Amino acid sequence: MSFAARLDDAARTVGVHLDATLAAFPEGPITDAMRYAAAGGKRLRGFLVLETAALHDVAQRDALPAAAAIEALHAYSLVHDDLPCMDDDALRRGQPTVHVKWDEATAVLVGDALQTVAFQLVTEGGLPAERKLALSATLAQASGADGMVYGQALDIAAETAAQPLDLDGIAALQAKKTGALIEWSACAGPVMAGADTAPLMTYARALGRAFQIVDDVLDVEGDAAATGKAVGKDADAGKATYVSLLGLDGAKSRARELVDEACAALSPYGPRADTLRDCARFVITRDR
């Protein structure tokens, strides 16, 4: 099976599990908007959970709740990031954002609800209790005040800072805002198996940085119809990015270097990790 087919298959599998979870909630605008917010997307984080679980011989049925959990949490982050008080975006995945389609209060509640669903999901399935506890604790760290939320706070602060961020500042910001959830996803497999997370943490850190660099590139030369969101916002806001500091060619070159680093980190797994290597290469060739 090609990498694209494996990614699509994982997206469908995770989507079905997440849909089934949301279907248990009371009918109404909040549940409708939760389904809307959680639909679509590459589901790359859920894919990483399933793939790293398989790499450690964890059955898919046991890994699936964690894969759905990270997608629920990621969806929450997008709903809140799109709000007028944050990034103020009207378009996400080619559709109106939740606060545009419904209203701001609904969007806040939908984000809150999706976040709690994520922690519900990691308690489900057949893993030993101590492994579920480890998944929950690390997810809280990756998503909270020392993880994704902290990265968003750094991003907001950078918009009004006297001096634009340098490369080290951008890397530190994105390691939290984007990288933390990618790292959790890639390390979920060894956590579920009680194995060493170090090789996949190294892989994920390089992958997360490459992912963000490509996001910066797409904001410059991407097509809104393909990306499903507005482009050119960073330049319009005078925001420091990898592209603004390295140039387009320099940013693309750095992304390729990071993909090489990510692939090298997988050497302990041999050819069993080839799909994860394909994933790293996909990150720098994607158009959305």
Q: What is the pLDDT of residues 25-53, one digit of tens each?
A: 999 999 999 999 999 999 999 999 999 99
Residue 115 has pLDDT above 80, yes or no: yes
- Band of residue 207 on the pLDDT scale cut at 50, 70, 90: very high
Contact predicate 19/35, CB 8 Å: yes
Residue-wise pLDDT tens digits, 142-186: 999 999 999 999 999 998 888 889 999 999 999 999 999 999 999
Examine residue 194 and state whether it is found in any structural domain, yes or no.
Answer: yes
Q: How high does pLDDT run on average in the chain?
A: 94
Q: What Å distances lie between residue 104 and 79, 98, 99, 118, CA to CA?
A: 10, 8, 5, 21
Examine residue 236 and state whether it is found in any structural domain, yes or no.
Answer: yes
Q: What is the mean pLDDT of residues 59-74?
A: 98
pLDDT at res. 287 = 75
Residue 227 has pLDDT above 70, yes or no: no
pLDDT at res. 224 = 64
Residue 234 has pLDDT above 80, yes or no: no
Examine residue 288 and state whether it is found in any structural domain, yes or no.
Answer: no
Give the N- to C-terminal CA distance of the chain in Å, as an integer.
22
Residue-wise pLDDT tens digits, 87-104: 999 999 889 999 999 999
Range with the lowest mean pLDDT among 16-20, 72-76, 153-157, 185-189? 153-157
pLDDT at res. 230 = 62
- Measured distance CA(48)–CA(7) in Å, rounded: 9
Examine residue 237 and state whether it is found in any structural domain, yes or no.
Answer: yes
Q: What is the mean pLDDT of residues 107-135?
A: 98
- Band of residue 137 on the pLDDT scale cut at 50, 70, 90: very high
Examine residue 79 and state whether it is found in any structural domain, yes or no.
Answer: yes
Contact predicate 107/79, CB 8 Å: yes
- Number of domains within the chain: 1
Examine residue 122 and state whether it is found in any structural domain, yes or no.
Answer: yes
Residue-wise pLDDT tens digits, 235-287: 667 788 999 999 999 999 999 999 999 999 999 999 999 999 999 999 988 87
CATH number reported for the structural domain that contains residue 34 in this entry: 1.10.600.10
Q: What Å distances lie between residue 143 and 13, 19, 237, CA to CA?
A: 23, 22, 26
In which domain, by residue range, is 238 found? 3-283
pLDDT at res. 226 = 60
